[in-house]
Structure 1
Amino acid sequence: MRKISVLMLAPFLIGAVIISSAFVNNKRIEKLKPEGKGFALVELFTSEGCSSCPPADELVAKVQKEIGDKPVYILAYHVDYWNRLGWKDVFSNADYSKRQNEYARWLKLSQVYTPQIVVNGKTEFVGSQEGALRNAIKNGLQGGDDVNVNLDVARNANNTATIQYKIEGNTGRGNNVISLALVQKQAVIKVERGENGGRTLAHAQIVRNLQTLPLSKNAGSTTLTLPAGFNAQGWEVIGFVQNTGNGAVLGASKAQFKVTAAID
């Protein structure tokens, strides 16, 4: 686990790096069994420049293969603050580092670190801890479904996508937003320098674009630019409603791109 100190109200990261160890819990945990009407939004903060991160990337990829049609939604944000160690993560974005800082404020943490996982905006732990992840998902699935998120995504001919959303339920819109993440399902990168230099890393559920909109009404739409090399089969959109006062995620859903031969 790699930690870095932050000022809770600052928009940037400061402080010295504190190195500590994290170990993967290899004990087999019971398969995911949803017992309620809940959901689990799993947000991983990771980096190709962090030697502790590959086990967490492998863990979320493993869980992603297991979930099937269960309401479990995985987002992997590649932060940018480890880029200074000699390798620029090609998926990194300063906006994702700022989002992690928001969680530090919501969860009253004195530091941010990688790999970190946050589930439903309420529970956080070291991203390579399998038991903690499975328990958090189980707890999320046992919850309620007070807010339903319905998404529809359409690819346009000008290399953009239009995302329409409709929210059902009591959202208390005054403090809530809807976030829409464009997700690349898989990628493999050969890291040439830095802490993971010489390794080939596999990634899953990579957030490539994140738009957050005020929830002023229960329905709306937005347009995203699609990255070069986009393939409808390898991408999806995950949307979620979040309370900006405490970080709690109230509902989530996903939508797949329609595969059309005329465009693909």
Structure 2
Amino acid sequence: MQTVIKRRAHRPFSRAVALVAALALLCASGLVSAASAMCSARSPAHRVALVELYSSEGCNSCPPADAWLGQWKNSGATRSVVPLALHVDYWNGLGWTDRFSQHRFTERQQTLTDLAGGHTIYTPEVFVGGRELRTWSQQDSFQSRVDKLIAEPAQANIALDMKPQPGGAFDLAARFDSRTADSAARLDAYVAVYENALSSQVGAGENRGATLHHERVVRQWIGPVPLVGGKLQIRRDIRLDSADASANANPSVDKFGVVAFVENAATGDVLQVADLPLCH
């Protein structure tokens, strides 16, 4: 009888030891933190200013604009400014191919210009809330545009959730809910994955010999995806591939983030934005 009692007394302890050992093994492999971590963002009740910089490494007037955009690298969302750098491809045939360029960004720049009744696209060009702002480098002018936007109530709600997965991947869930009174308006949703702290040694073209530094560079782009009945949910598996060759094996999550926004397809107006730096 005593032997049976001793076995029963030690069995919970043995199980506890086994459980602790298993948890220690999972923690060492990083699976516990990957499974439990979750980063989230919700858009505020007022509009947020999406700042789009159209840039190129082949343009010698772009580095000052790149530096200007970088000032909101970390703190922009707290000031209701969400910056993105979209590198276009029409400079690529003039001596230097921009490794961050995508033709879809050239197309988006042209579309926004056409919607506003313009005809010419150029770099650096800045859009705030979907509308061009030629005087972006003048602080008063830029702040005036931002203040006007954030004084308006939001016309959409956006919720972002990112859950880390093993191997540098993330599960993305983005939810969009329209609040506009115009039920006939076509609204499109977009999601952009950006990367910070990038640099390039330029070997040709107008910036030959220069080391260029970039923040908030769009690396992945989803959209346009139309809202149906004023609602939409986008779910994607996002894999982080750093443009820094030395980081490809183990990219730093701190360098990446996700921006989601809703746009009026007929006018180009960006109705609401959410920004989410990725968590560990």
SS at match of 2:79: coil
Q: How many residues align?
A: 224
Determine whether 1:204 maps to 2:225.
no
Determine whether 1:237 maps to 2:271.
no
* Structure showing the higher strand proportion among its residues: 1
Determine whether 1:70 maps to 2:79.
yes
* Deviation readout 1:182-236 (Å, 9 max, x if unpaired): 0102212111111011111111110001101222233332233321433211110
Deviation at 1:169, TM superposition (A): 4.0
The residue aligned with 1:133 is 142
Q: Residue 224 of structure 1 is aligned with which of 230, 235, 238?
A: 238
Q: Residue 206 of structure 2 is aligned with which of 191, 195, 198?
A: 195
Structure label with greater radius of gyration:
2
Hey, what's the Cα distance between the residues in 2 that align with 1:63 and 1:244?
A: 27
Hey, what's the Cα distance between the residues in 2 that align with 1:56 and 1:113?
A: 13
Are the equivalent residues in 1 in contact too, given 2:176–2:189 (CA < 8 A)? no
Deviation at 1:173, TM superposition (A): 7.5
Hey, what's the Cα distance between the residues in 2 that align with 1:258 and 1:116?
A: 31
SS at match of 1:100: helix
The residue aligned with 1:215 is 227
* Structure showing the higher helix proportion among its residues: 2
- Normalized against structure 1, the TM-score is what? 0.78
Structure 1 spans left out of the alignment, 5+ residues: 1-35, 260-264
Identify if the C-alpha distance between structure 1 residues 184 and 56 changes in structure 2 by more than 3 Å, giving closer, same or farther.
Answer: same
Identify if the C-alpha distance between structure 1 residues 128 and 191 changes in structure 2 by more than 3 Å, giving closer, same or farther.
Answer: farther
SS at match of 1:134: helix
Whichever residue aligns with residue 98 of structure 1, its letter is E
Deviation at 1:104, TM superposition (A): 1.4
Structure 2 spans left out of the alignment, 5+ residues: 1-44, 243-247
Are the equivalent residues in 1 in contact too, given 2:58–2:96 (CA < 8 A)? yes
Single out whichever of 38-47 and 223-232 deviates more from structure 2. 223-232
Q: Residue 45 of structure 1 is aligned with which of 33, 44, 54?
A: 54
Q: Residue 109 of structure 1 is aligned with which of 118, 121, 132?
A: 118
SS at match of 2:134: strand
The residue aligned with 2:159 is 150
Determine whether 1:179 maps to 2:187.
no
Are the equivalent residues in 2 in contact too, given 1:183–1:235 (CA < 8 A)? yes
